[in-house]
Amino acid sequence: MAEQLLDEMIQKINQIMSSLDGTIAQISQMSASINQMSQNFSEQTVSITENIRLIVEVLKQFRIQSSKSLQELSDDFNNKVKELWDKKAIEVITDEEKKAIDIIKKASKAVSDNLYYAQLLNIIQSIREETNRIISAKQS
């Protein structure tokens, strides 16, 4: 009887050990999966960071180039007005026409400023859209 009881206890212990071995294997597999997910997340984060850096650099270059173009147009316009002024060709212009030229100069400056602000808004919008896309991708 004692021997039978001992055999049953050994059998139960062996069953518990088998069950624990399965649980340990599942935990190990879960750990490996978590490590893989962590690695993938880190790689994607680095990739996203690099993409955002490149986008910002492209936007900076675009802003610089467009500012240069606007500045060249403004300089050309100012040079032509100065040239006309130096040649005394403007002396015959009436006060109303001089006011119109001043208004055009102010409008040119306002357009330049508005284009700059529009570029900044585009940059902010692009970053916002990219961030939302990244957040959406991470939540999926």
- What would the pLDDT profile of 14-31 be if each residue is shown by its tens digit? 888 888 888 888 888 998
Q: pLDDT over 70 for what percent of the chain?
A: 90
User: Residues 80, 108: contact at Cβ < 8 Å?
Assistant: no
- Look at residue 80 in the predicted model and tell me its pLDDT: 80
pLDDT band, very low/low/confident/very high, at 104 (cuts 50, 70, 90): confident
The secondary structure of residue 1, as a DSSP letter, is -
Round the average pLDDT of the chain to a whole number and report it.
81
User: Alpha-carbon distance 114 to 101, whole Å?
Assistant: 20
Sign for the CA dihedral angle at 51, 57, 58, 59 comes to positive
What tens digit of pLDDT does each residue of 57-95 get? 887 777 777 667 777 777 887 888 777 767 765 566 667
∠ CA 116-122-124 to the nearest 5 degrees? Answer: 105
Residue located via tokens 């850096």:
53
| Prediction pTM value | 0.41
User: Alpha-carbon distance 108 to 104, whole Å?
Assistant: 6
∠ CA 132-136-138 to the nearest 5 degrees? Answer: 120
Residue ranges making up the domain that contains 75: 2-139
Model confidence at 2: pLDDT above 60: yes
Model confidence at 50: pLDDT above 70: yes
Model confidence at 103: pLDDT above 80: yes
Number of domains in the chain: 1
User: Alpha-carbon distance 64 to 59, whole Å?
Assistant: 9
